[in-house]
């Protein structure tokens, strides 16, 4: 069955797990937290073995069937964690998932996560998962839903805040839930037991405003290469990890690719994407004038290469490559020698 996030959380808390789950969407934080909730519940129920399958180019889909057939000597239940970033398994992958779901191995749960999703991603493989389990499409929050989400997350962290402070934080993070989550975690430590008002919020976030990831991305998309590269240098100097920084950047690159690929014109595409605040539409219009679909595909490929490099494969200076990517985003027409 298809389920909303609240339905999904209620389902996994109520009893045994289904043989397969699909959690997909461009709202990375919500996808990650939903997948973490499933992993935690699986562990509680005795799924002590976990096998992670990262689907990259030239992935061997025989590994999925092999994972379903092999069990550890030390665990009676197994979770197969299949990570499908694009949400597109291809013909071979679709067949492998359909075959797995046609006869799910006993005491085994398949979790498929994807960082991109739309109705175009649906196919025989996702339908097969729904027949034996649950599919959760994680859609971006509507603008009017963001303050409520922030308020609920603050309350869950034991943080009280005035409505004006919540509204200010919602405006500041510009729809970036990861940035909102990080700010809330920090504010919960700084203001435990008190009530956060606008003045306290402004004082707490003033110091790191220059180095926020979403401002880095906006500077690059807006063509301000100097400012964007300065922010990269600041993030590196602050000792930030590069992998978490890529999440928001990847979301914006995928958005640019969708806009560049839209057949109904830029205006219609921008309306359908519900970019918030609307003032950011100008940034995307500028970027789309300079870079076509091929350029944004190359940028996404470079971002994937940086992610792999930051994880140690292949070797290289991930920060240097990030600088090259940011420069290519800011100046698409001069990006020929910047992207591999």
Neighbours of 292 (CB within 10 A): 12
Residues 6+ apart with CB under 8 A from 82: 53, 55, 64, 110, 111, 112, 113
The β-bridge partners of 135 are: 2, 22
Residue 209 has pLDDT above 80, yes or no: no
What integer pLDDT is reported at residue 155 of this predicted model? 92
User: Confidence class of residue 73 from pLDDT cuts 50, 70 and 90?
Assistant: low
Neighbours of 2 (CB within 10 A): 13
Longest dimension (CA), the chain: 58
What is the CATH code for 143-207? 1.10.8.60
What is the CATH code for 211-334? 1.20.272.10
Topology given in CATH for the domain delimited by 2-137: Rossmann fold (3.40.50)
Residue 312 has pLDDT above 60, yes or no: yes
User: Confidence class of residue 211 from pLDDT cuts 50, 70 and 90?
Assistant: very low
Where do the domains of the chain lie?
A: 2-137, 143-207, 211-334
Neighbours of 69 (CB within 10 A): 9
The predicted-structure confidence for 112-145, as pLDDT tens digits, reads as follows 999 888 888 889 999 999 999 999 999 888 878 8
The predicted-structure confidence for 239-277, as pLDDT tens digits, reads as follows 888 888 888 888 899 999 999 888 767 777 777 777 765
CA distance 92 to 170: 42
Q: What mean pLDDT is predicted for residues 18-43?
A: 92
- The two tokens of residue 306 are 């940086």
Q: What mean pLDDT is predicted for residues 178-187?
A: 84
**What are phi and psi for residue 51, nearest 5 degrees?**
-120, 125
What integer pLDDT is reported at residue 282 of this predicted model? 86
Residues 6+ apart with CB under 8 A from 164: 197, 198
- The alpha-carbon radius of gyration of the chain (Å, integer) is 21
CA distance 77 to 49: 6
Token pair 């590196």 is found at 236
Residue 207 has pLDDT above 60, yes or no: no
User: Confidence class of residue 210 from pLDDT cuts 50, 70 and 90?
Assistant: very low
């Amino acid at each position: 069955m298809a389920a909303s996030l609240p339905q999904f959380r209620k389902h996994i808390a109520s009893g045994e797990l289904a043989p397969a789950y699909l959690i997909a969407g461009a709202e990375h934080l919500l996808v990650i937290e939903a997948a973490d909730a499933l992993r935690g519940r699986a562990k509680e129920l005795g799924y002590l073995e976990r096998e992670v399958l990262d689907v990259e180019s030239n992935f061997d889909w025989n590994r999925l069937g092999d994972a379903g057939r092999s069990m550890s000597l030390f665990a009676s239940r197994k979770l197969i964690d299949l990570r499908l970033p694009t949400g597109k398994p291809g013909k071979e992958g679709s067949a492998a998932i359909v075959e797995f779901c046609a006869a799910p191995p006993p005491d085994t749960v398949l979790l498929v996560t994807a960082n991109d999703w739309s109705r175009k991603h649906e196919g025989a493989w996702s339908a097969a998962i729904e027949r034996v389990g649950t599919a959760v499409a994680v859609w971006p929050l509507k603008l009017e839903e963001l303050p409520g989400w922030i308020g609920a997350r603050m309350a869950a962290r034991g943080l009280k805040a005035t409505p004006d402070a919540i509204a200010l934080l919602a405006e500041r993070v510009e729809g970036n839930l990861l940035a909102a989550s990080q700010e809330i975690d920090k504010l919960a430590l700084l203001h435990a037991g008190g009530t956060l008002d606008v003045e306290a919020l402004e004082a707490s976030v003033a110091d790191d405003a220059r180095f926020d990831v979403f401002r880095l991305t906006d500077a690059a998309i807006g063509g301000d290469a100097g400012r964007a590269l300065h922010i990269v240098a600041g993030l590196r100097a602050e000792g930030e990890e590069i992998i978490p920084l890529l999440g928001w950047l990847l979301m914006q690159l995928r958005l640019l690719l969708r806009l560049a690929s839209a057949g109904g014109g830029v205006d219609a595409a921008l309306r359908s994407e519900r970019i918030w605040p609307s003032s950011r539409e100008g940034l995307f219009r500028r970027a789309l004038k300079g870079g076509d679909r091929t350029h944004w595909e190359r940028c996404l490929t470079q971002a994937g290469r940086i992610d792999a490099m930051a994880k140690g494969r292949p070797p290289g200076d991930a920060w240097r490559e990030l600088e090259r990517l940011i420069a290519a985003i800011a100046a698409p027409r001069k990006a020929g020698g910047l992207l591999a």
